Amino acid sequence: MLRVVVPDMNAYDAFYKRLITAIPLKNVTSRFAMQRVKFTTAYSLTAPAR
């Protein structure tokens, strides 16, 4: 699984074309976020206070 951050769809298209010419892939699925949903990827390891 790859997470790719690009400035616009043209940049994604260029990335995708380079990817499929460099690596033989059977299936590629893409999902796009139109805006940032979450600003961090870290999870809290402490239990929430009650």
pLDDT score at 5: 85
The residue length of the chain stands at 50
Domain boundaries, the chain: 1-25
Q: Which long-range contacts (CB under 8 A, 24 or more apart) does 31-35 make?
A: none
Residue with tokens 């769809």: 9
pLDDT in tens, 1-50: 888 888 888 999 999 999 989 988 888 888 887 777 677 777 777 776 77
Contact, 10 vs 18, CB < 8 A?
no
pLDDT score at 13: 92
pTM of structure: 0.58
Write the DSSP string, 10-30: HHHHHHHHHHHHHS--S----
Q: How far apart are CA 34 and CA 32, in angstroms?
A: 6
